[in-house]
Amino acid sequence: MDRLKVNIGSLELQNPVTTASGTFGYGTEYADFIDLNRLGGIFVKGTTLEPRQGNDYPRMAETPSGMLNSVGLQNKGVNYFAEHIYPKIKDYNTRIIVNVSGSTVEDYVKCSERIADLDKVPAIELNISCPNIREGGMAFGTSCQSAANVTRAVRKVYRKTLIVKLSPNVTDIAGIARAVEDEGADSVSLVNTFLGMAVDAETRKPKLSTVTGGLSGPCIKPIALRMVWQVYNAVKIPIIGMGGISNAADAIEFMLAGSTAIQIGTYNFIDPAISMKVVDGITGYMDRHNIKSVSEIIGKLEV
Amino acid sequence: MKVLDFTVRSNEQLNYQNNLIKVTPADNGTLPEMSPGQFVQILVNNSGNVFLRRPISINLVDKEKNEMWLLVQRVGEGTRKICETPAGETLNIIFPLGNSFSIPQEEGKFLLVGGGVGAAPMLFLGKKLREKGFSPDFLLGGRSQRDILQLSDFEALGTVYCTTEDGSLGEKGFVTHHSVLQKSRYDFIYTCGPKPMMVAVAKYAHSNKTGCEVSLENLMACGFGACLCCIEKTTRGNLCSCTDGPVFNINELTWID
């Protein structure tokens, strides 16, 4: 199956299909449904230096062809991850990539250092785009200067593959991508959720406890695709594309627009076996179009 | 847990807003062991807008007919589409999900309290208790007579008490006003229904030092512990009501001050 291999910097993935942080737990939640060893990679739940309880209920509102969430990075902290979760998932034959988040640059650095100690985690995804935490998170990803600062600080202490997850809630996502590329990021992943809101007309109340939350699902796909294309034309580092991918055709579209690999997010909730169908669908597409290696289609949008 | 296509064997409209849908595995496979309190996630077909699956509790498992009963209330477009599925058509279902009510080992006096469509899992639980040789009592509440569902099915399993807000069936008022709660002492109470009702039942149980389990219906996306949306505040922190629940002992919750 070498024809499905792709490279994110020096990190080789057995195929381009990975699962998005915050939609796939630690992988084990899906072990009843799929063979995790067939995934290109698993981006595990956003991890912070200290445990976080997350936001109050309600944290979710369904919207046309999508959903809003305001989970707020509920997790037990990086030490719990390293001691209790990592041993259970480290031996899967896939790439385990930890999504790292924080409220201060120092948080990101310390959390990344702890993850760097874990042999079977070859990469981190620096989450500078979470819209659901009061301090930090997305604030780092909405200006070139702050994105550059946190990337530079983590790059100093983290020598393995560094992926930076970008926020779409900016005026110029290509500019942010260039800023983190300049600071030594090996890759960018995009997009995180769009800041959105839902209101209950009857009660006049917001549907989320936090009022606003992050929008995901098929409804964001056209915007995500546009942003991948813009970033592809602005940077040289590989892109991991995501935003509403719900079948193999969507995944191919993101690759044609410039993604080296893709993440499947919200659609895992609808069909927990979707990632396997996308792997098979990509293979079918390659057969139909006589493509020898999937990397041949990256950025091959004909304009 | 698995994802499976089910064939709709029958789909009966029980009242103005509820359907009883009986399904069997499309591949004719035997239904696995399931427990009262567990639920399923149903994919909504033929809807451009509805995106997420709809969580529905298991109403009953009929092992002889290899059928699972699902009692569905038409709340919005998703549940309406599910209720429009005719016999012979397919529903894609993730099942079984969640934990279950604890089944007592010794004989006792058990009260199963259901409000509206929330009574659905109480039928399955009542059947399980019956199979253990116990005689559960049921207390069913609704706005009006037409909101009390599956009455004859419940009556086949034990004594049934009813309350309606308009007094059209049983005693007038809420379930917690029913005179049986003054007359009888129960060893354990199970409840599922609207949250204000469950809170009132939990407070009644607590003040009488009676054990009590509630089944929550928090909004959820996935149903299997990945999205962390359906959390409930508990003595052990925020827990997913889909995997750590939907059944919680009231001692774990923060409902009673």
Contact B53 A272 (CB under 8 A): no
pLDDT tens, residue by residue, A20-45:
999 999 999 999 999 999 999 999 99
How far B91 CA lies from chain A's nearest CA (Å)? 13
Nearest by CB: A74 against B2, B50, B228? B228
In this prediction, what percent of chain A has a pLDDT beyond 70?
A: 99
Task: Kindly state the average pLDDT of the residues B204-220.
Answer: 96
Q: Which element (helix H / strand E) includes B163?
A: strand B159-164
What tokens appear for A2 in the block?
Answer: 């070498």
Residue A168 is predicted with a pLDDT of: 96
DSSP secondary-structure letter at A296? G
Catalytic residues of A: 130
Sorted by where each starts, the structural domains of chain B and their CATH numbers stand as 2-97 (2.40.30.10), 110-215 (3.40.50.80)
Contact B228 A53 (CB under 8 A): no
Nearest residue to A244 (alpha-carbon basis) of A262, A259, A257, A231: A262
Question: Which of A44, A62, A266 should one mutate to test binding to chain B, selecting the residue with the greatest count of B CBs within 10 A?
Answer: A62
Amino acid, res. A133? I
The whole-model pTM stands at: 0.96
Kindly report each contact of residues A296-301 with a partner whose C-beta sits within 8 Å and lies 24 or more positions away, as own/partner.
Answer: A297/A252, A297/A255, A297/A256, A298/A6, A298/A255, A298/A256, A298/A258, A298/A259, A298/A260, A299/A232, A299/A255, A299/A256, A299/A257, A299/A258, A300/A256, A301/A229, A301/A256, A301/A257, A301/A258
Partners of A61 on chain B (C-beta within 8 Å) are 219
Residues 6+ apart with CB under 8 A from B31: B24, B25, B61, B63, B66, B67, B68
Chain A and chain B share a number of CB contacts under 8 A equal to 89
pLDDT tens, residue by residue, A61-95:
999 999 999 999 999 999 999 999 999 999 999 99
Task: Kindly state the average pLDDT of the residues A239-261.
Answer: 98
Q: Domain A2-53+73-194+215-297 adopts which CATH fold?
A: TIM Barrel (3.20.20)
Question: Which of B46, B219, B227 should one mutate to test binding to chain A, selecting the residue with the greatest count of A CBs within 10 A?
Answer: B227
Residue B256 is predicted with a pLDDT of: 83
Q: Is the confidence at residue A1, as pLDDT, over 70?
A: no
Q: Chain A: residue nearest B243 by CA?
A: A29
- Rounded to whole angstroms, the Cα distance separating A110 from A113 reads 5
Nearest residue to B140 (alpha-carbon basis) of B192, B182, B101, B100: B192
* B residues 3-22 lying closer than 8 A (beta carbon) to A: 3
- Quick one: residue B93, left, alpha or beta (phi over 0 = left, psi -120 to 50 = alpha)? beta
ipTM of the complex: 0.94
How far B109 CA lies from chain A's nearest CA (Å)? 35
The residues pairing with A271 across neighbouring beta strands, listed in sequence order, are none
